[in-house]
Amino acid sequence: MSDDITISLQQAEALSHKVLTHNGFSQSHADAITRSVMAAQRDECHSHGLYRLIGCVQTALNGGVDTQAEPTITDQAASVVKVNANKGCSLLSFEMGKPHLIEKAKRSGIAALAINNSFHFSALWPEVEALSVEGLVALAMTPSHAFVAPAGGTSPLFGTNPIAFSWPRPGNTPYTFDFATSVVARGEIELHRRAGKSIPEGWAIDSEGNSTTDPVAALAGAMLPFGSYKGSALSTMVELLAGSLIGDLLGHETQAANAEKTGKPFHGELIIAMSPEAFLGKDAASHLEHAEVLFEGILDQGARLPSQRRFEARARSQVNGLTFPKALYDELNALTVQ
C-alpha cells in the first residue's frame, strides 16, 4: 500500500479552506492563506505547502495570530505604503497593500510596502511573482524568530531571514529566486524530523554548538547561515531593513507561539517594487529583451534558472493533481473535526 495520496487541486483547495475556517480563521484570511499554500504545494515546494496549515492552526490555538484581524493601511509617503497586520497573518496584509504598492511603483519608479505586526509563515516567491506579473521587478525579505547562529557563533540570534526576487520576462515565466539566508529553510529540517531522516552535515549545530545530523538536535540547537560570513551578513541586512527600518522587531525579540500563550510571533516584512517603464521610458522593452541574453547564457552552459523545476512541477500538478504523504492528508483532515 502506497504511503502517498493524490488529490486534485480543487480538493486540496477545499481541504485548506475547511481546515482554516473550522479553526477560526475568517474567510478573507482563509482565502489568502489558501492561495499561498496551494501555490507552494502545486509547485512541489512541500516545506511551504499544505504542511504549513498545521502550524497555522497550532499558532491560532496558542494565541499567536488573530484569525479575525483586519489590516490597517497607511499612506506613509509618496513611495511608501504601510500595512499594520494587527497581529493577523501577513498574507492578507500583502494582498490589501499590493494595489497601493503597484500604483506607487508605476508612478514613482520605485516603491516599498512595509508590513508590520504580522504573523508570517509563508514562502515569499508568490508575493514577488505577483508583482512581476504586473511588469514590476520585486524584492522581498522578512526576519523570523531566532533560529540561526551567526557565522562563528554557537547559539540562535538571526531568523532564517529569507530574501526573494522576481524579474518579469515578457512571454516567459519570470526569473525568480527565494531562499533563506540559513543553509536551508527550517521547514526542511522539520520535514526530515517528521520522516525520521537524518539531515546533511553542515545544516545545523546542537545546543552545545557541535555539528549534528540529528534533526531533533538541530531544532533544539541552531541552524547555520549559508556561505558562512556572507550569509550571516545578508541575514543582518534583512533584520535591519525588514525590522529596524520599518519600525518593527528584530528576529531575536520575537518568539514562536506556545501553549502557555506567552509567545510573541509578530514581526515585519518589506517588499520593494521597481518599474522598468519608469526607469527606462520608451526603452524599457528593449532593455528587458536584452536581459534575456543573460538567461540564455546560463541555460546554454547546461545550468538551470532558479524556479525552473518549480514551473515544471506546476505543469505536472495541473495535469496530475497533488501527491503528498497520506499521513499529512490524514493529519489535515483531523483538524477539520476536532
Catalytic residues: 47-48, 188
Q: What are φ and ψ of residue 159, in 5° steps? A: -80, 180
CA dist 247 and 112 (Å) reads 14
Question: Cell for 292?
Answer: 534575456
Between the alpha carbon of residue 329 and those of residues 44, 55, 122, 159, 334, the distances in Å are 15, 14, 19, 29, 9
Residue with cell 527565494: 178
The H-assigned helical ranges of 23-81 are 27-42, 52-61
Contact indicator for 263, 256 with CB cutoff of 8 Å = yes
CA dist 254 and 256 (Å) reads 7
Beta strands in the chain (DSSP E): 4-7, 72-77, 80-84, 110-119, 137-141, 163-167, 175-179, 204-205, 211-212, 222-223, 266-274, 322-325
Q: Percent helix, strand and coil across the chain, each rounded to 5?
A: 45, 20, 35
Element containing residue 116 per DSSP (H, E) = strand 110-119
Q: How far is CA 75 from the centre of its chain?
A: 25
Of 95, 1, 4, the C-alpha closest to 326 is: 4
What DSSP state is assigned to residue 47? G
